[in-house]
Amino acid sequence: MRGKSLALVAASALGAAALVVSGAASAGSGFAVSGTYVVSDFGATTCVSVGSSGFMFRCDTSGLVSQYSGDLTGAAIADFTALINCKTGRETGHGTETFNGSITGVGSGPLGWTDQFSSDVDCSFAPDLFIPFNLNIKSVAVKGAGDLTGLQGRLAFTDTTYSGRLH
């Protein structure tokens, strides 16, 4: 029950976060990247009630896996924490992701980034299941290796797409 809730919350949050790639390979204004992603494994989620209100929940998700296509090709594993307010129908959170794959025109390797996210959330099945939608994720790359060493940039995510600039 909690696993499914957090997994869905994590999927939306992480899915968005899963693609913050920082640039390194090019100089100047950088280059645009875009594509799609899909969550292939919701990982493990644990949710607990916050306070005595009965409508606030904290959910921790680990091991959420997203598959990327487009300019980023590969998989990302994310861990994140979300605060869900079922009174307002909103969720906010943060997390980290590690992408392992390739970036068109740059090369391949692992790239880690941090995510900040928000979304609307359906709490109809709370506390067993939270369904996020209208996902808004902002990510910033923090550490790369291999061909992605030194890459910096920012990405934005929706429920199924990503776009941004890397340099």
Contact yes or no for 78/115 (Cβ under 8 A): yes
Structural domains in the chain, CATH included, are 2-166 (2.40.350.10)
Report the C-alpha gap between 116 and 103 in whole angstroms: 22
Indicate if the pLDDT at residue 10 is higher than 90: no
Q: How many CB atoms lie within 10 A of CB 38?
A: 12
CA 20 to chain centre: 8
Contact yes or no for 21/153 (Cβ under 8 A): yes
Indicate if the pLDDT at residue 28 is higher than 60: no
* Average pLDDT over every residue of 11-30: 44
Q: Give residue 43's pLDDT band: very low, low, confident or very high (50, 70, 90).
A: very high
Report the C-alpha gap between 128 and 149 in whole angstroms: 41
Alpha carbon dihedral 55, 93, 15, 121, in 10-degree steps, equals 20
Q: Give residue 3's pLDDT band: very low, low, confident or very high (50, 70, 90).
A: very low
Per-residue model confidence as pLDDT tens digits over 59-98: 999 999 999 999 999 999 999 999 999 999 999 999 999 9
